[in-house]
Each structure stands twice: as C-alpha cells, then as structure tokens.
Amino acid sequence: MTRLTRRLSTTLSLEDQLAILAGEISEIVPIDTLNYRHQIGGTDFVFSSGMGGPHRCEYRLNLEGEFYGTLSLKRRQKFTEQELEAIEMMLGAAICPIRNACRFHAIEHAALTDSLTGTPNKRAMDTALQQACRLSDRHGDQYSLILCDLDHFKAINDNYGHIVGDHLLKLAACELEKSVRSSDSVYRFGGEEFAILLPHTGELEARNVADRVREYIGNIAINCGDINVSVTASCGVATHLTGEASDQWLARADEALYRAKDHGRNCTRVFASIS
C-alpha cells in the first residue's frame, strides 16, 4: 500500500495513475483487463489496459459523497473473496490520488474549452496545429485547416441582442460538428470565427468540407417573433506545407478567409499550395 500511494502521488495524470494502479493490482491479484470510465468536464474519459476475461468485478469510486468514475477488472478465472478484499484495499488507498487527478483533469479541460460553445478554444487549437505540423513533416501526411467566419455577425448582435447572438454561436458550433468527420477537430478561434483541423485531407477535399460547412450553417434559423434569423459563413482553406510553422499555416488560411470575405462573403477560398 505504501508503494502504491507513493507511486500515485508522483503524477496528476489520470491516465498515468490508472496505468500504475493496473500494474500494482496485477502484482497482488492476477488480472487480464482494467477498464475505467468517467465523465469529466462534460466529456467522457476512458482508460483500458489489457484484454479479455469473462469474470468481472466492478466498483463505483466515491469519496466524501463525490463520484470519481467506474473501474472494472476482468480475467478468465473467478475472483476469490480474498482477492476481492485485496482489490478493495488497494482502491481505498488509490481513491484520494484519483480524486486529485480527476480535479486536475477537469481544470485542464476547462482551460482548453470555450465556455459558450463547449468546443476547444484557441489555446487548444494552437497545440493541435503544432502537433499536426510535426506529424505532417515526419510522415508526409496531408493536413488541412479551415477558418470559418460568420458573415455580418455584428449586425445580428446589434439588431437582435447578444442572447440571440450567443444562441447562434452555439448552434453554429453544433452544425460544424455535424458537418465534419469524427477524426476532424472544431475550435472556436475567437468571436464569430471557428477553425477546423482536417487530418489526412488535401486541398480539394478540404474545400468540399468547407462548402459543406457553409451549407450546414446556412440552414440555421432562429425564430425571433415575426422573423427567422439566419446567417451565412465565409471559409478560408490552407493545406500544410512541408517545413511550415503553425503560425505561417494559420496566416495562409486567414489570408484565404480574407479573400472569401473580400469577394462578397458566403463563399470558400483556398490558399493554393505550389506543387
């Protein structure tokens, strides 16, 4: 128990703590699988170590009236009473570090999430773009970036109020999520501007995605008494170039967006790469 608590206290990473816990439990009670699931900050956190096993024991982790996830263990043989007692003792020693890790994860998640729309924010986007640049350079994969701006959004705020404007932003974020693949990532870049990161996607496909995004946003309608408030969107697209820094990539997408707005809005422009 002393070794377990000492090892768990060395990190606030929930994933690392669960990996430590799985290893320490397996030293005392042979297991094939450790699964953990919890909802933190409105998103699902899932951890799994190992595979298989028809026999399972499951625990809801609670401390001082607060819930900190569900943990289950599986293996091919049935657990004995003595083994279950040993597992429960280890979980009793682990619950405080797990609580601290859950709280830290929630704080980290909040720092990377836009409070209005629930989408990742610019800070999260900057990190994702830097990682995409590294992966693109290392493996030669194509990554594309779309910047999407809601047209004449200030006029909506001025004419109908910020409550309607905020509701429109939330709906726009939902439509963006619907219009892209699960492997794509949507970010609120700032104000009425969103960004979409598309892995394994070239210019032509990215342009098609941008046009689909504009179509989805164009279908939004908010009833304000005798009028339905709707909005269009302009999109700028840029595909990452080999050796290009994330800020340069972002600047090219922003230039493409400027061209879209300069050409009358409600359209898509691509910053074409040189082949």
Sign of CA pseudo-dihedral 162, 196, 121, 106: positive
What is the b/e burial string over 59-79, where b = at least 16 CB atoms within 10 angstroms of the residue's CB?
Answer: bebeeeeeebbebebbbeeeb
User: What letter does residue 231 receive in the DSSP assignment?
Assistant: -
Rounded-to-integer distance, Cα 8 and Cα 250, Å: 39
Instruction: Give dist(CA 88, CA 116) in Å, integer.
Output: 40
CA angle 51, 56, 59 (to 5 degrees): 110
Closest CA to 137 of 245, 238, 237: 245
Q: How far apart are CA 161 and CA 180, in angstroms?
A: 29
Active-site position among 24, 83, 192, 244: 192
192 classed as catalytic: yes
Query: Which residue numbers are catalytic?
Result: 192
